[in-house]
Amino acid sequence: MDNFSKRLKALPGKVSGFLHSRGRKAAPPLNAQAIKWAFRFFLGREPRNRKEIAKHAHHADIESLRRSFVDTVEFRTFLSSQRPWAAPLFLLARPVNSAIPFMFSPPSLATPTSQMCTEAQFHEEAHRKICNALAIDPAHIHRKTWEFVWIIAGLRRAGLLRPGIRALGFGVGNEPLPAFFARLGMEVLATDAPQEAIAGQGWDTTGQHAAGLEQLWHPKIVGREHFDKHVSFAQVDMNAIPANLGGFDFCWSSCCFEHLGSIEKGLDFVCNSLSTVKPGGLVLHTTEFNLSSNDETFEDQTLSLFRRRDIEALYARLIEEGHKPWPINFYPGMGEMDAHVDLPPFATPHLKIQLGKYVSTSIGLAVQKAAS
């Protein structure tokens, strides 16, 4: 196995899962859309013509397609051409809409708000304690870990980590949160996309998709009997949330709504997810945030990078509907790891990532539903 494959195989999270399917059942045949996605992701450009797409049509799975790009001179040239990342000025400006709650200071897990993943948060005591509760190594500097920790920190701030609370998870994959909530005596409905909604995207062939409870039980977190008592499972399309799915104290998703087909669909999901919680309830969602531009971005059927202006438009919409988003903090971090941009095929530290010509990181958005 080459070094690229070794590093990619060791990486948890949905991005690496999508790009690495070795050792699992064969994926559905790749279509032109998947091939176009690979051009954007690995080379930062569109295919030049149909002939260039057809050149990759023979690949049987995502792994074969991945290799065809990372082993090329163009891919290595593209990576070497990327400039070191520096915090852009557009992060500092106050929102044009004065109704949007805003702050710009080092974010903390002790007093979380809507914020980005930064190095300093990995050194907090709150991070260590939550990681231990999730049976995750606190020394693993990875933004996927941060997403889980931020969600729990937000729930702790809201007083929602207690027995009897009803929780709804979207796109849960094999994440540890349902097991953690079950251990606390919370009632959890964990959901993931129907099989037909993810066909050909790689989630089902890389262990990143849940088809039932089996993928969600983490024995280091909770016993099986207790888990089965408190967790149930259903298939839910995040683009078409059932009208009868409601009455929860909170809902969450971790790095999911950027995969719903477009920026518009992702933002619509955040708004629609509020219908699943009680008046005054809380929704917490993490996603990809574009750190390179507030104008151009990466938008594809399989992945979208949300710009600051997209987040502000979402906040304005939520506020107009009477909801209360937690203050948005675009502080990107000033530590050594905050300046590091991880490149395909990805390793650790993994706080910022190169996706095509854009640098991205994880951002968490918390919104309290209108009281009535």
Given phi > 0 = left and psi -120 to 50 = alpha, else beta, which region is 242? beta
Residue 74 belongs to what H/E stretch? Answer: helix 73-80
Q: 350-354 long-range contacts, Cβ below 8 Å, gap at least 24?
A: 350/11, 350/141, 350/142, 350/143, 350/144, 351/117, 351/118, 351/119, 351/141, 351/142, 351/143, 351/146, 352/85, 352/291, 353/15, 353/143, 354/79, 354/82
Lowest mean pLDDT among 225-229, 245-249, 307-311, 347-351: 347-351
Contact 61, 201 (CB under 8 A): no
Grade residue 299 by pLDDT with cuts at 50, 70 and 90: very high
Q: What is the pLDDT of residue 32?
A: 78
Q: What is the pLDDT of residue 349?
A: 92
* Beta-bridge partner residues of 102: 328
Asked whether the predicted pLDDT for residue 257 surpasses 60, the reply is yes
- State both tokens at 215: 């993928």
Contact 291, 85 (CB under 8 A): yes
Contact 127, 368 (CB under 8 A): no
- pLDDT tens for residues 195-216? 665 444 444 434 444 567 988 9
| Average pLDDT score over residue span 160-179 | 97
Is residue 188 classed as helix, strand or coil in its secondary structure?
A: strand
**Average pLDDT over all residues of the chain:** 86
Grade residue 280 by pLDDT with cuts at 50, 70 and 90: very high
**Distance of alpha carbon 20 from alpha carbon 116, whole angstroms:** 26
Q: Which amino acid, 86?
A: A
Q: What is the pLDDT of residue 66?
A: 74
Q: Read off the DSSP letter of residue 160.
A: -
| Average pLDDT score over residue span 25-54 | 72
Domains of the chain: 89-368 (3.40.50.150)
- pLDDT tens for residues 61-104? 767 777 787 777 777 666 666 666 788 999 999 999 999 999 99
How many other C-beta atoms lie within 10 A of the C-beta of residue 237?
Answer: 16
pTM of the model: 0.79
Asked whether the predicted pLDDT for residue 224 surpasses 70, the reply is yes
Q: What is the pLDDT of residue 216?
A: 94
Q: What is the pLDDT of residue 80?
A: 62
| Dihedral sign (CA 271, 276, 280, 284) | negative
**Distance of alpha carbon 64 from alpha carbon 70, whole angstroms:** 10
**Distance of alpha carbon 344 from alpha carbon 346, whole angstroms:** 5
- State both tokens at 283: 């929704």
Is residue 27 classed as helix, strand or coil in its secondary structure?
A: coil
